[in-house]
Structure 1
């Protein structure tokens, strides 16, 4: 009992957590923050008013536990997703990270393996290791794409218990064909998670992995309200899967894990889906404007179906990041050589980023 602990090494931490680094993105009060793929458009005033009214009503019964099954919210998500889904095929949590954590708690854990194709969302390995499972990173092509045959071969070689498929991919913005999902599903007996956090920013004629759910009881499609719905601060994520998968998640969730206030806010936001999604077209337009201008400046932007752009051809990413920071613009160094990632913001924010980047070039 003696002594004072001053570092993690002094604590009886799990051996498999030693040396790991927690998730983190720079937070700074800069005029233009385009580093964590938020929807930078504010929630429209009429929608905000309805959300506030719903929260106020929920507060009148805040002394009681919330609906443990968040029934109205699941019905709202089922209606939004369509494809004949019912509330029995819907799950939700405090952000899509908690939803993914539930899946790993149920289907991964000690002695099991999760697999993803690097580079991809940095939380996959962190969440995996947090549950005591092993994470294996596969490889992508030079342009960060995946073919069905290569993806299936890599998964078959590892035989994981959980597979993460980020579609479209973060941090590269890369599209993922449904043929890849089908091929991966067919070569594994594990759970296949298709993370569609950015699906609303994909071309509207493209099919979602939701269309693959019928007959595939091990397939899961996760979504978030953080991006297209401008709801990052509310922390609401959800998924669609076979009812038996939903039953499995009830085994690991904490009691009453979604507060009454969260349920009220999210249900109200879903009532205004057309208005909330009206921002998507503007964001896509700014994303495409960014890509075109980045190319004109001599960089190499990658194809993106998200609300951000990864661009390469950056001689010194750290120096460019700092130069933009000094000009009041915050973007993200995601650790990919000679590359940086920037979120598509409002028209003014996009202009500020592009002007700042051009001024760095001029000063070089």
Structure 2
């Protein structure tokens, strides 16, 4: 085994058999019967051709993902600007495979998604972090200074951020994109008289929870046209309620997408995955109808927790980070004993709860009330 991997444990959130599971930011609503039936029919049809390899570049799926983004965010993109993989995890790994590697650096702002350092580790990319501000927004000055110092090949920022739920302000993203035009790794000189040529840092905005953003919070997709070094990652796991499907995707300039096609494994999206994703996308209106309910439940949860005197981070996601507790593990453990599983993650003293069904949220509030009392 590689020495840098020896002794490490695989990533994973706790899996405990309790009635209310609110720890991994899943959509709590199972697909409606008509959605499940259409997916089953599509998979059955695909199964008749499983002796053949699937289309490596899945143009129909890319076209339908672009059509969905046009409705969801108002941004028109061509299918050649879309890429997809086995969850947004694989898509972000493709980015690191294409732009990272030995001698290159990935930068992010913490606290943030715990898989980011693993993408860097697995591609032998140096991993550098900068602290977020006290309100969990991106510290613009500190981030730009780190970009200047470390010349990262890739800057990854989650918006809404996991585990805090914080969205990145458009003016801050624009400032970072402008700074990133010349902060990438220098081109290697081809001759003794050649000077280093500055390159751009690839800026990836991870919008896994983008559909849950509050009214008036724009998507980074709106900035793609003027920023060829920007990529925006999305997923069908959260808002679509398709975590078990494993379909994540990314929107970017065609040239950037073509770079990702170089590093992907052949036939990395199975015919079954492509068929199921297309069937789910055909129901996007009804599936997205659940998003408003979850937003409303999130906002009610924020108000309730603040009403109990707790510190609660503003959230544009389908989860809420709250605290602070002297012994957060004791609170987490007490909730588990009452049949409610949330996540012990984020800054010291903080916990994160996913937004569940109205009934699940009521059970969480009742259990927390008992713990706090």
Q: TM-score range by the shorter chain?
A: over 0.9
What TM-score does the superposition give when structure 2 sets the normalisation length? Answer: 0.91
Equivalent pairs, count: 350
Residue in 1 that maps onto 2:207: 196
Q: Give deviations 1:302-355, integer Å, cap 9, x for gaps.
A: 100000000022221100100000111000001421110000000000001110
Question: Counterpart in 1 of 2:303?
Answer: 292
Q: Structure 1 residue 147: deviation in Å?
A: 4.7
Q: State the match for 1:105 in structure 2.
A: 97
Tell me what 1:52 maps to.
Answer: 40
Paired residue secondary structure (2:263): coil
- Aligned counterparts, 1:275-354, within 5 A: 275-354=286-365
Structure 2 match to 1:5: none
Contact 1:155/1:184 (CA < 8 Å) preserved in 2? no
Answering whether residue 122 of structure 2 is matched by residue 130 of structure 1, we say yes
How far apart are the structure 1 equivalents of 2:215 and 2:32? 23
Q: Distance in 2 between matches of 1:168 and 1:350?
A: 21
* Alignment partner of 1:218 is 2:206: no
Q: Which residue number corresponds to residue 41 of structure 1?
A: 29
Deviation digits for residues 130-187 of structure 1 (CA, Å, limit 9, x no counterpart): 1011100111111111254443233223211100011111100011112222222222
For 2:169, the equivalent position in structure 1 comes to 177
> Tell me, what secondary structure is at the counterpart of 1:352?
helix
| 1:151/1:180 contact within 8 Å kept | no
Secondary structure at 1:233's aligned position in 2? Answer: coil
Tell me if structure 1 keeps the 8 A contact 2:111–2:346.
no
Whole-Å Cα distance in 2 between the matches of residues 23 and 156 of structure 1?
A: 31
Distance 2:348 2:366 in 1: 23
Q: Give 5+ residue unaligned stretches, structure 2.
A: 181-199
Contact persistence 1:167–1:176 (CA under 8 A): yes
Any idea what SS the aligned residue of 2:107 has? strand
Deviating above 6 A after TM superposition, structure 1's stretches of 4 or more consecutive aligned residues are none
CA RMSD in angstroms comes to: 1.2
Asked whether the equivalents of residues 130 and 142 of structure 2 are also in contact (C-alpha less than 8 Å), the reply is no
Give the distance between the partners of 1:141 and 1:246, measured in 2 at CA. 32
Q: Does 1:231 align with 2:219?
A: no
Q: Which residue of 2 aligns with 1:3?
A: none
1:214-243 Cα distance to aligned partner (Å, 9 max, x none): 132111000000000000011000000111
SS of the aligned residue for 1:110 comes to: coil
Query: What SS is found at the alignment partner of 1:77?
Result: helix
Matched, 1:68 2:79: no
Cα distance per residue 1:11-33 (max 9 Å; x no partner) = xx223323544322101121100
* 2:179 match: 187
Query: Partners in 1 of 2:30 and 2:321 — Cα distance?
Result: 24
